Structure 1
């Protein structure tokens, strides 16, 4: 494993140390500093930018030929780190402990070391990593947030006010859809120079704002959590698949949520986000899509079709079908047969 030791702040020094370790140069574009990973070490880049009040952003978009550990070690109080992994898997360790914490895709950590201890990030070999890290210098950032911390979660309040790094802090979560969209926008903004700097600073503030909301939501018991996480999308797709498989006897929203491992609120939010529909509206849509397809095939009668989608009342089925397709199922079936006979 290759080991690199870098300073923690300002981010210019981080990039400068990395450039020296990789025996390459770094570039400065409107105080955004970047190194391109030399081919003998891997591919991609690492870049960082500092904003006012001790606030900065690091981005890793890289793959290394050999595993790599970066030690953020400096004889000073280390910054708070808000780390987001949108591709690949990395590990984190505090210098004062031996415990490794894995940060998988769509996960994030908030970490704060004690006193003058630092952080270690471990990158695997031959794996594409996309990682963003908000770097917050505690005392400088105090000017930005001291106006009204009383409305922030008590644990985050203590974290931001721990200017002398007396307490170790670690939080591990799955980041939200809102966070995912915000982070994705960092990669495709197409701006340069001063406008890029303004954009990145605005997005970094937005990431921090979303993070506070995500963190506070995570402190609630599972049934009361309302914010949809990127990782929840797997559960939403599983729920949609279950509905399609069991059209004849669909689960209730409560049972469906329980079966895929989420709660009804997040299930509804996930369906709205993914399909633009509530769970019940999505269910009716796939029911009617099935009914239309079966009527076009002409192998089942209307009673059999309505039974297959769990609707025993034929008149109710007819109303739903007409509302969706502006024609009742009986007339639709006749129209299909008429068109078919004309073609032959």
Structure 2
């Protein structure tokens, strides 16, 4: 049940800082706090998720009618901020006399500044911005991994050393569709009262953080964009993958998808291998299987009807690939 701001015992201080710059009302649904904008400033919302002590996430989904500057350093002190722009663009600036750096769609950035140093996000009016910021408190979160001897903790410690020794740090990363795919499942979501679903959605933020750290290390070591694809090519891959997910029943081919995306066959395959670690045909097959699994769980369709609904024609072939992925035949899966 949603509670209004007047009903709340306490509002997270991080969200109160935002409210000083983005006028609106705060509601809470379980432990998800949402700041909904007043019409005098624009439309949209900012969702605040406290993942654990020292780890918070902010999802901005805004379209403003005036330019706004948000001081991210004061949102969470002594933290490292991982930025990802899913749609639109914004800018980051340390001091007012320094040049602002543009963060474009699908682009990552890593920001850190010591207490007292200005660090702000600049959002321009008129553009639809979908931005995720994961704030990681260095001491509370990273120290937990200090004694662990595994590849992930080593990457965390390496990142700490790279960033934490400087009074301020800004790393403009390359483009990443891997993070985009996770955020698409989080933006605009309505949490149900299922605790398992809430935990599953929160888990995606940890995946996003892991991908940020992986990309940051790769770019620091190689000093290069990890994708090798241009922004417009990444956008085309994202759009064509959404098209396949929306219409799995269509008989997709390399030729038709090239016409849909405007990409060459080589770029199309390169993009899917980078983004999904699959060929185009493997991706289409997997989308169909996931759609079929959902239909089997949530509808009364027969197996033959499910096969037809996802664009396949052979029931025996469908049963074979379904069992390979889910370890049960479609009939066994439905009965369970």
| Interval of TM-score (by shorter of Structure 1 and Structure 2) | 0.5 to 0.7
* 1:71–1:215 distance in 2 versus 1, CA, 3 Å: closer
2:98, 2:65 → 1: CA distance? 25
2:207, 2:75 → 1: CA distance? 31
* 1:1-344 equivalences in 2 (<5 Å): 12-74=12-74, 77-95=77-95, 98-148=98-148, 151=151, 157-161=157-161, 166-187=166-187, 189-193=189-193, 194-195=195-196, 197-218=198-219, 219-220=221-222, 225=226, 232-233=233-234, 269=274, 275-276=280-281
Deviations 1:262-306 (A, max 9, x none): xx966865798573279xxxxxxxxxxxxxxxxxxxxxxxxxxxx
2:28, 2:276 → 1: CA distance? 44
1:221, 1:76 → 2: CA distance? 29
* 1:173–1:72 distance in 2 versus 1, CA, 3 Å: closer
* 1:88–1:11 distance in 2 versus 1, CA, 3 Å: farther
* 1:265–1:87 distance in 2 versus 1, CA, 3 Å: closer
* 1:78–1:181 distance in 2 versus 1, CA, 3 Å: same
The Cα of 1:100 is off from its aligned counterpart by 0.8
The answer to whether the Cα contact below 8 Å between 1:77 and 1:164 also exists between their aligned partners in 2 is no
**Which residue of the partner structure matches residue 301 of structure 2?**
none
* 1:221–1:46 distance in 2 versus 1, CA, 3 Å: closer
* 1:76–1:83 distance in 2 versus 1, CA, 3 Å: closer
Compare CA radii of gyration and give the structure with the larger one: 1
Q: Number of matched residues?
A: 254
The Cα of 1:235 is off from its aligned counterpart by 8.1
Instruction: Return the TM-score normalized by structure 2.
Output: 0.61
2:85, 2:106 → 1: CA distance? 6
Deviations 1:44-78 (A, max 9, x none): 00121212230010010011101111123549943
Flag structure 2 segments of 5+ consecutive residues without an equivalent: 1-9, 240-253, 284-336
The answer to whether the Cα contact below 8 Å between 2:64 and 2:124 also exists between their aligned partners in 1 is yes
2:275, 2:74 → 1: CA distance? 43
2:34, 2:200 → 1: CA distance? 17
The answer to whether the Cα contact below 8 Å between 2:54 and 2:137 also exists between their aligned partners in 1 is yes
1:20, 1:92 → 2: CA distance? 19
Deviations 1:116-141 (A, max 9, x none): 32420100011111001101111111
* 1:145–1:156 distance in 2 versus 1, CA, 3 Å: closer
Root mean square deviation of aligned Cα: 4.2
The answer to whether the Cα contact below 8 Å between 1:75 and 1:116 also exists between their aligned partners in 2 is no
Flag structure 1 segments of 5+ consecutive residues without an equivalent: 1-9, 245-250, 279-344
1:44, 1:140 → 2: CA distance? 31
